[in-house]
Structure 1
């Protein structure tokens, strides 16, 4: 079949072969030459195809056509048999006809067949363009601009795609095209076979799942039937037992009365009655009154009743059975479902990707319940299984955590088949930028505390405490004399609606009412020199960090004890786990117990000394966060360490550099894994993830 195929991108096709200038393309038709030739252009005697030379088609008087070679052979056979050579017999209908005087060459030609031969010979010409100006030149094909031209027209053939033609003979280009088409066709066939195998496998799994569910349904209802049958037998047995017990009592009473009756009847029959004895018994019967009823009336009764609420039972059973075994199915099509990245992926912290499902037509789905598997692969690491959260709206959150930066492949499968863009290339970086920033005006803030959905920010430069929501809405501004002078440097939540404030100029600790801003209690201690931080533990003790000592006061401001780290200046403090005391110094971070006894150093980075400006611990995870400044590079960053003393990683705040992390507060509840950092120099509060 001579056809012209469509051109895939980047490949050569016969339709794409265009001649420049006077070149033209020979038109072709879609015709099956083999079938047509076999039916109309083949000699029925020898089955050879007619041509314009020795196998010319001759038209016989009977209207049949035979080639010249067959007619010559028939005539030769007839002459060898000494038969007259002036006539021949048609090899198809056996009709005898007379030959012309000049022999078989003068038989008329089959003009219709000859015309068809001319047409078909024209159609058999190769569909190859030729140059009208230079028809004898071989055609060339440019691989760069997809043009066809002869050698003489090459200089005039221009195209914006290429400045210099890269030419090959057109015959080679056509051969390459056919090879490419053949290769792609074979690949397509292979893909179709694989698709058919996959569909058959899906059908097998569908039947297998359906059979499993049918078995589960039958097993469950059979078990329920056994329970109902067991209860039925139990009730029937209880009826039988109670009936037999009552019947035995009544039968025994009947036998007793029968024996008494027989004895009296016998005495009456024999006449052997003792009148005095009989009178005595009659008096006893009459005197016993109610006692005699025990012998005369039935000692048992026929009362039996089934205590049940049949209507309620039927309703309960119907409700339970009706709510059992809801069958769920899904129209999710993995080939139209996609993986979307919601945020940059960073080392040591949880990365979340969104899987959005759709049906076979690409319509987003709004229900969940699909079986999704997800894992991460990369060079040099083992397969990392990802956790999947069903959002029950057609989307799923896939989360994972890795320690090393690099490129990874995220694989997501639904029903065991990969989604549209799986594997998804994930680039994990070791730079950690803030995830959120408090959108509120601040001036030189120093501390932040969390109380449910509200943030308390010590806005030192504005002599106030700002109470705001995470969306930036200001709830209130707390002002108080203890906040004046721009010298309030410490803040800690004491109890509900009570907050402690440290003022380094006044050398005082004040408890203020968060609603009215009034000072409830105030303490000024003579030993305080330049206090810079404040914390409150679970026992209500107040911890005050001074330059050289840590002072511990009870809730009534009575000094309990003080202690000092060795050879270091104190820079900050906070409460650790189990009411331990974390003390930041100009050399690092130290941990003390609740009595002020040294426990261990907490590593916050390299072996060089690190100035610790702030610190906090997450009670839920035991992770310590510290705002540190490298003594050599003077670069502020956040250090993450384990409470037992192992350093984990640094948060460099890339893209939004920290300048002075003066206060930290750890999130709890749904905020676990979040650290809120007050940047004194940038006048803001930011949130970083450390999990």
Structure 2
């Protein structure tokens, strides 16, 4: 737990705003403010309806009262972490005793001790005595004893020759040392000069921005004064007319209410004329003013991109130390090649990096270069056609090793796995698809009544195992890497299999009749679609029922997926041609889609999954289209149409592809979708 907690969190974050003490059983209000359970209960007794003590938002409590509010588990974890941190004792440093062995070596000695060493055996490279030349080192094909003086003289001459070669080399190395010393001496002044120049440059840019800011603020002030003066004049003119009409109204009212008949006859005509004149007067009551506002002629995001080209560090670059890493490329999608330095950063100025790409016909493909970190760059492009492209990358006009590169651009799908049949690597009526703990693709084959696992990169079959039941349909992988498979026909139920395919457990609760698609949560709870009952089942890890979801809203639920980051589950409904969203408490959130073949329309939606970004991917059984929607159900794009026009289960791979089970095509297709 502690590894997920910040070391410097504010203790005040752990204090309840009401009692100012550490939270006790923290509860979250709908406005997302957190308080102690007891504090809220006490607060609720003082006011009805209950209002948040912080923001005064009214809170509608359920029948359970404060107990029905959600617990703030994150605050609980922080409290546990703070308590553990406060009570932790200093650790004991690791100690190691280092030992060594003394290795003694003996010097070989000549066995003929009374003789002097007078010869050198060139074959054995050993000093020998006169006796040795007769016994052990007799001249011949194996030995060649020569007088020591002769060999020593030759060796001395060789060493003298080497001595003559050493001096020039020493001078060269010493000169190199001095050159490095000069460069080291110039390093600090070079840094200082570059720093000063950079500061002056950016100060000038800042001055220009400040100058422009002052100009804009002055224009705003001037416009405000001019508009204020005009509006004040307008106000005075209107107030003048208002005063005249108010005065006439008062005089007329007094005459009517308090004047005698004589008085009415004397002033009646005059009052009438005055009032009629004022009422008939054409007044310009419109202020003729529209609120002025500041306009960003250049968006901050666009300016941020331009800032990257405002200066850079220019140095002598060795392009041979740079490396280009090519990523998989798919037609119509943004593709990336990475320029990385090996060791020292190669360049920090984008102007020094150039990239040119041509498609198979020789047409230029626009590229963009963007710095992602110190000395590392992304080269992005969107290929319009498939086939072999050529990418040329230069740093300071020098080709990097391997440039130009061959880039194979694939179409969608990028990989098709399997074909119709019952052999290894073949498929028959695949329905559910999931990704296992190793990133490989697991498929339920309804026709072959088995689960088969494929390598996601090559499409090669890795292994398979029978499921031993009729009508296998959905599949998912739990946090332990075991497989869960549903079957809806004879011997229906939910079965758990080991990675090797051994049956570990069978679930057949009374609430289950015709299980189809399923998904497993991180805490091992399960959600199963039940089209016969027109609902979904939320189950405990042991298979017992927690609650029914979607009763009265769903018609033919087929597949389910859960976005646990938002506590939202998505269910495809073939009959309604929609995707329904519920929270795990069973409350409807929203739905999207309608019958149709246009963007965002459905023809019997089936497989559904949610990617790490919250996007929702849906396959259609009616026309085979695979579509991507935002987290709120807004249509984003069409991915493609599967073989034979009948998409079933879908799953997202770790490297960002979507695997789609093609029921009629008897294969799995892998698509790039974002």
- TM-score of the two chains, using structure 1 as the length reference: 0.41
- TM-score of the two chains, using structure 2 as the length reference: 0.42
